Amino acid sequence: MITSIERNNCAECEHRMTCVGAAAGNRDASQRIRIARHATLYEAGDAVSDHIFNIRSGSFKVLRAASQQPAHIIGFALAPDFLGLDALDRERHANTVIALEDSEVCSVNWNRHAFEGRRRPVMRASLHALLSREIRREQRAALMLRNTQAEQRMADLLLSLSQRRVEYGHVAEQFRLPMSRCDIASYLGVTAECVSRLLLLFRQRALFELRRRDIKLLDLSALQRMAIGSPPEAAMVAS
């Protein structure tokens, strides 16, 4: 599904600082790969290489199946997130990663032995901090699902996307929402109709403005209150 591989011109890349010494200052450290919309970067069962992927532009959805269950979307990855951090210790990928739009990723070697002398591997401390942050993100995604109410989950998704923008040095309120309603539904564990209803409800409460794919959060503190949720008694009844 990979459509083109070309030399990486890292000097021009706005995300080169996130590649933590892997690519910056060394143009041969990685390869740039173009992935067309709906194409797969890798699939569950594919062999894992020594590479992790940094999204240079575009966005992806990550799918995972719990034993013998249908696959669900377990996450969204937006530039400049990394992909493949969960597979350093695996022989085969457990997740399937699909492009939500035409995207570009850089394939970065993380193994310090593979290209000794010739290419710089991802630096140790940065790699560990990166992995550590990814653990926190995944913990948060799982926490979201322990909230029984769809409203809470929706608020949490918007806040976590917003927080990531902040981590990458952007404003918290404005970002793109590249995923479809069906994708959001799969991620939140609700129906697509429910997502449409939630989006409408959030707009009526003036929590955000949505223009096509561009979202502007209007009331972060209200979203935060929603994400924490209603009193425990109410939450108890719902499951």
Partner 1 sequence: MTALELAQCQLGSQVQLARGEHLFQMGAAADGELYFVRSGHLKIYQPCGDGVQRIIDFSRPGDWLGVDTIGEQYRHASAQALTDCQLDVVQYRHLAELMDEEPYSCDLFSAMLSREIDRQQLAAAILRSAGACQRIVMFLLQRAGPAPQAPMLEAHSPLPMSRQDISDYLGLTPATVSRTLSSLKRNGWISLGQRGFVVQSRPALERLAAGAPLAIAPHAA
Do residues 162 and 222 make contact, with C-beta atoms less than 8 angstroms apart?
Answer: no
Give 10 or 87: the residue with its C-beta nearer to partner 1. 87
Taking CB under 8 A as the criterion, which residues in 117-176 touch partner 1?
124-125, 127-129, 131-136, 138-139, 141-143, 145-148
- Within 10 Å of residue 113's Cβ, how many Cβ atoms? 8
Q: Least separation, in Å, of the C-beta of 123 and partner 1? A: 11
For position 24 contacting partner 1 by CB under 8 A, the verdict is no
Q: Least separation, in Å, of the C-beta of 230 and partner 1? A: 11
Cα-based distances in Å from 74 to 10, 104, 145, 160, 201: 30, 21, 10, 13, 24
Surface-to-core class of residue 2, CB atoms within 10 Å of its CB (0-12 exposed, 13-18 middle, 19+ buried): middle
Q: Least separation, in Å, of the C-beta of 65 and partner 1? A: 7
Question: What is the token pair recorded at 93?
Answer: 């990928």
Give 118 or 136: the residue with its C-beta nearer to partner 1. 136
SS3 track for 154-184? HHHHHHHHHHHHHHCCCCCCEEECCCCHHHH
Among 9, 12, 45, 69, binds partner 1 (CB under 8 A): 69
Residue 35 is inside which H or E element, if any?
A: strand 30-35
Taking CB under 8 A as the criterion, which residues in 219-238 touch partner 1?
228, 231-232, 236
For position 88 contacting partner 1 by CB under 8 A, the verdict is yes
Do residues 17 and 91 make contact, with C-beta atoms less than 8 angstroms apart?
Answer: no
For position 183 contacting partner 1 by CB under 8 A, the verdict is no
Among 75, 107, 109, 175, binds partner 1 (CB under 8 A): 75
For position 112 contacting partner 1 by CB under 8 A, the verdict is yes
CA-based nearest residue to 25, from 34, 33, 17: 17
Among 72, 165, 197, 205, binds partner 1 (CB under 8 A): 72
Among 20, 87, 99, 100, binds partner 1 (CB under 8 A): 87
CA-based nearest residue to 187, from 103, 89, 71: 71
Q: What strands, in cross-sheet order, belong to the sheet with 30-35?
A: 4-7, 30-35, 103-109, 51-57, 82-83
Taking CB under 8 A as the criterion, which residues in 187-206 touch partner 1?
189
Q: Which residues bind partner 1 (CB under 8 A)?
A: 64-69, 72, 74-75, 85-90, 94-95, 110-113, 124-125, 127-129, 131-136, 138-139, 141-143, 145-148, 189, 228, 231-232, 236, 239
